[in-house]
Amino acid sequence: MKTVLVIGGGGREHAIVDALSRSPQVGKIYCAPGNAGIGLQAENVPLKDTDVEGLKAFALEHAVDLTVVGPEAALAVGIVDAFRAAGLKIFGHTRAATAIESSKEFAKRLMAKYNIPTAAYRSFSDYDEALAYVSARPFPAVLKYDGLAAGKGVVIASDLEEARKALADMLLDHAFGQGKVVVEDFLTGPEFSFLCFVDGDRVYPMPLSQDHKRAYDGDEGPNTGGMGAYTGLPFITAEDREFAYMEIMCKAASAMVSEGLPLSGVLYGGLMKTPQGIKVIEFNARFGDPETEVVLPLLKSDIYDIFEGVASGREVSDPEWSDGVTLGVVMASKGYPGSYQKGFEIEGLDLVDAQVYHMGTVIRDGKVLTNGGRVLMIVCGGKDLAAARACVYEQLAKIRCENLFFRKDIAHRAFF
């Protein structure tokens, strides 16, 4: 039996642990740092996801056969390079290849060079030049900080004043660091997520999904990490999917091989169906959260085979997926994505007859407490979205906690 270490401690990692626990080859699963729900299916290890030395020592000491990396932060500090140098098998991209997510400018240059459809752009390190360029163009202006900025590095400025402030934050005050700013054309259309397992030129697609980034119903309110997701997108045709697979995901994988930076992990295409066709909004070098929680429950193949094959650079059989669809709703702490309190008891979890993925929870004195902005995600499968949606909201009503809120319109594009 195989021993696996999963790195991370959110809903995404709970879904990965859950999928691994369905593998007949997997015996022991560790998760660092894990959370209360993960702790029911794996052994939580109190190490930070970026503590490369600590994690490496743990994997060596506990004879871990395979490590699976969830968060981009761990990839960006070079955990894969360090594990491989120590002879440890690990699923995730090298630090250099993670640039496809960690540097907006790298990703934009790659797309321009290999003719992958995306918004036209220019990048700037000088504030005055950036401001002059933005002033001469139509609004809204899309301004992206060139580096990891915890989801706060993108500003859609509706007028010059907003743009001036954002550029000053990024290029004069260096709010996120010393990076450049990418200014790109504003695109319109529904967004969706295309996750693929990628090993060099080999690209194994997962079902498409859609996240809901705004905090409140009707796609109102501030941007969050994601308030819910579903598969079975009503607005994507088979042709759209084929185009996105061939012209975006496969081309990006080959481009990285040509650049001497082969991918080895998950490539996440954040795509938009614009009136001019499907275009890339961003690439991520990891599973999406909350997309993973609705995608992996559909996987019928053994996920250990896929992870191990990709990590070893060996071809694997095409993953098989269930025909049905899934829908998941996030329960978040009141105040999120702004400031919020933690430590509220969650009751009724044992009554829920659906998949519950923990995103930010902790157990204290036998009680499950809220411990993050996004706290839980309830996921149901069904033959169609109406069935999955009815199931999720019925089950979610059983959870009692005074400090949680959730969106009531997940998958609204399929219904309203």
Identify the CA nearest to 413 among candidates 385, 393, 391.
385
Look at residue 302 and give the partner it binds from ligand GLY, ligand AMP, none, a contact being a CB closer than 5 to 8 Å depending on partner kind. none
Applying CB under 6 A, the site for ligand GLY has a residue count of 6
β-strands 66-69, 90-91: how paired? parallel
| Site for ligand AMP contains 191 (CB under 6 A) | yes
Q: How far is CA 85 from the centre of its chain?
A: 27
Show the site string, 227-266: x = touches ligand GLY by CB under 6 A, - = not: ----------------------------------------
Q: What's the min distance (Å) between Cβ of 101 and ligand AMP?
A: 10
Of 72 and 308, which has the nearer Cβ to ligand AMP?
A: 72
| Site for ligand AMP contains 221 (CB under 6 A) | no
Find out whether 196 and 204 touch, Cβ atoms under 8 Å. yes
- Surface-to-core class of residue 395, CB atoms within 10 Å of its CB (0-12 exposed, 13-18 middle, 19+ buried): buried
Site for ligand AMP in 270-299 (CB under 6 A): 270, 281-282
Give the interface segment with ligand AMP, choosing from 17-25, 184-192, 366-374, 386-394 (CB under 6 A): 184-192
Give the interface segment with ligand AMP, choosing from 42-50, 180-188, 372-380, 390-398 (CB under 6 A): 180-188
Q: What's the min distance (Å) between Cβ of 288 and ligand GLY?
A: 3
Show the site string, 119-138: x = touches ligand AMP by CB under 6 A, - = not: x-------------------
Identify the CA nearest to 283 among candidates 410, 114, 32.
114
Spatial separation of the C-alpha atoms in residues 331 and 328, rounded to whole Å: 10
Q: What's the min distance (Å) between Cβ of 405 and ligand AMP?
A: 21
| Number of other residues whose CB lies within 10 A of the CB of residue 46 | 9
| Site for ligand GLY contains 211 (CB under 6 A) | yes
Q: What's the min distance (Å) between Cβ of 189 and ligand AMP?
A: 9
Q: What's the min distance (Å) between Cβ of 264 and ligand AMP?
A: 23
How many Å from the N-terminal Cα to the C-terminal Cα in the chain? 48
Look at residue 284 and give the partner it binds from ligand AMP, ligand GLY, none, a contact being a CB closer than 5 to 8 Å depending on partner kind. ligand GLY
Sign of CA dihedral 375, 380, 385, 390: negative
| Tokens linked to 154 | 């993108």
Q: How far is CA 341 from the centre of its chain?
A: 24
Q: What's the min distance (Å) between Cβ of 312 and ligand AMP?
A: 31
Q: Where are the alpha helices (DSSP H) in 264-351?
A: 291-295, 303-312
Look at residue 259 and give the partner it binds from ligand GLY, ligand AMP, none, a contact being a CB closer than 5 to 8 Å depending on partner kind. none
Look at residue 154 and give the partner it binds from ligand GLY, ligand AMP, none, a contact being a CB closer than 5 to 8 Å depending on partner kind. ligand AMP
Of 119 and 208, which has the nearer Cβ to ligand AMP?
A: 119
Select the residue interacting with ligand GLY from 291, 293, 302, 308 (CB under 6 A).
Answer: 291
DSSP 8-state symbol, 120: -
Query: Which runs of E-coded beta strand occur in 255-351?
Result: 264-274, 277-284, 325-333
Placement of tokens 């029911």 in the chain: 40
Look at residue 281 and give the partner it binds from ligand GLY, ligand AMP, none, a contact being a CB closer than 5 to 8 Å depending on partner kind. ligand AMP
Q: What's the min distance (Å) between Cβ of 121 and ligand AMP?
A: 8
Select the residue interacting with ligand GLY from 13, 184, 289, 293 (CB under 6 A).
Answer: 289
| Site for ligand GLY contains 288 (CB under 6 A) | yes
Spatial separation of the C-alpha atoms in residues 356 and 293, rounded to whole Å: 9
Find out whether 91 and 73 touch, Cβ atoms under 8 Å. no
Look at residue 13 and give the partner it binds from ligand AMP, ligand GLY, none, a contact being a CB closer than 5 to 8 Å depending on partner kind. none
Find out whether 385 and 232 touch, Cβ atoms under 8 Å. yes
Select the residue interacting with ligand AMP from 31, 32, 38, 142 (CB under 6 A).
Answer: 142
The secondary structure of 199-230, three-state, reads ECCEEEECCCEEECCEEEHHHEEEECCCCEEE
Identify the CA nearest to 63 among candidates 87, 79, 44.
87
Sign of CA dihedral 76, 336, 185, 282: positive
Of 289 and 302, which has the nearer Cβ to ligand GLY?
A: 289
Of 88 and 167, which has the nearer Cβ to ligand AMP?
A: 167
Spatial separation of the C-alpha atoms in residues 163 and 220, rounded to whole Å: 21
Positions in the binding site for ligand GLY (CB under 6 A): 211, 226, 284, 288-289, 291
